[in-house]
Chains A and B, each alone.
Chain A
Amino acid sequence: MVPTIYYVFLSGVLFIIGVLGVLVRRNALVVFMSIELMLNSANLALVSFAQARQSLGGQILVFFVITVAAAEVAVGLALLVTIFGTKRTTDIDEISTLRG
């Protein structure tokens, strides 16, 4: 069996790569993908804890996280398309005002 701590460490590394993606990239779509990456790394930690404790709660929570992530991606991409309609860019440095 693989020790739980390896999974948690992998999850931490993936989370940090996601954080770096959010901080460094300027393309709003790639920033979005990095957020998905962070959600996934948290899911991985949750599943490994569920396995370590032999309790189903962690897996159920991951199920809900995946559902909410799907809804979030749908709304977020719709927002991006709307912003693109007025600003004609997906560079987040250009989108610095709240006006539509």
Chain B
Amino acid sequence: MELVVFIISAAVAILGAGAMVLSKNAIHSALFLLLNLGAIAVLYLLLRAPFLFAIQLIVYAGAIIVLFLFAVMLLGAERAEDERDRIAWQRPVALVMGLLLLAETIYVIFFAPRASVLATANSGGGEDFGAPIHIGEALFSVYLLPFELTSVILLAAIVGVVVLHRREQQSRGAE
């Protein structure tokens, strides 16, 4: 049963990712990315990580996709690639390198001697493993320092965005 859910969500995730890369319109790309993120959120639920499922939906599917759609519409960048490609030869080269990377991944995962973690199917374990209460306890005890550092990173991002915008306004005023 779980395998069926896994296969369906994995197929949706891969289709969404592929369509994101292939679609000409950037708005469609953002919406396909949303599909992909939703499928990965289902996989998190399958992996017994309900907290990350919620975070994925709120932060990625909610905030980040909205930011992307907003930027695409603001810049009118839906069809930024309509003009001719000036370095067209790099596209087949990129495809070849991607296929090489895929072959390498398949070799490492399925054929190379591997660590015991990968070899064993994941044991069921406690049902409430990864419950929000355990994550909260770990976050505010063992991982307190990185948690506080995250707030510094977020503050730096906010300040950076405001500074970028201010400088843009000043340069416009000078013109």
Contacts and interface: CB of A to CB of B under 8 A. Distances in A.
Interface residues of B toward A: which range? 35 or more
A19 B101 contact: yes
Contacts of B2: 1-2
Contact of B29 (A9, A30, A63): A30
Interface in B136-172: 138-139, 143, 146, 150, 153-154, 156-158, 160-161, 164-165, 167-168, 172
Contacts of B143: 60
Contacts of B36: 14, 37, 40
Contacts of B95: 20, 24
Interface residues of A, number: 72
Contacts of B72: 29
A8 B14 contact: no
Interface string B30-42: 1001001100100
Contacts, number: 240
Given A2-B6, A81-B71, A69 B125 contact: no
Interface string A59-100: 110111011111111110111111011000111010000000
A15 B21 CA distance: 12
A60 B139 contact: yes
A73 B67 contact: yes
25 contacts: A4-B120, A5-B109, A6-B10, A7-B47, A9-B105, A10-B10, A12-B109, A13-B14, A17-B20, A20-B94, A20-B98, A52-B122, A53-B117, A54-B123, A54-B129, A63-B55, A63-B139, A67-B153, A68-B153, A71-B154, A75-B164, A80-B75, A90-B77, A90-B80, A93-B87
Interface of B: 2-3, 6, 10, 13-14, 17-18, 20-21, 26, 29-30, 33, 36-37, 40, 43-44, 46-49, 51-52, 55-56, 59-60, 63-64, 67-68, 71-72, 74-75, 77, 80-81, 83, 85-87, 90-91, 94-95, 97-98, 101-102, 105-106, 109-110, 117-126, 129-130, 134-135, 138-139, 143, 146, 150, 153-154, 156-158, 160-161, 164-165, 167-168, 172
Interface of A: 1-10, 12-21, 23-30, 32-34, 36-37, 40, 43-44, 47-54, 56, 59-60, 62-64, 66-75, 77-82, 84-85, 89-91, 93
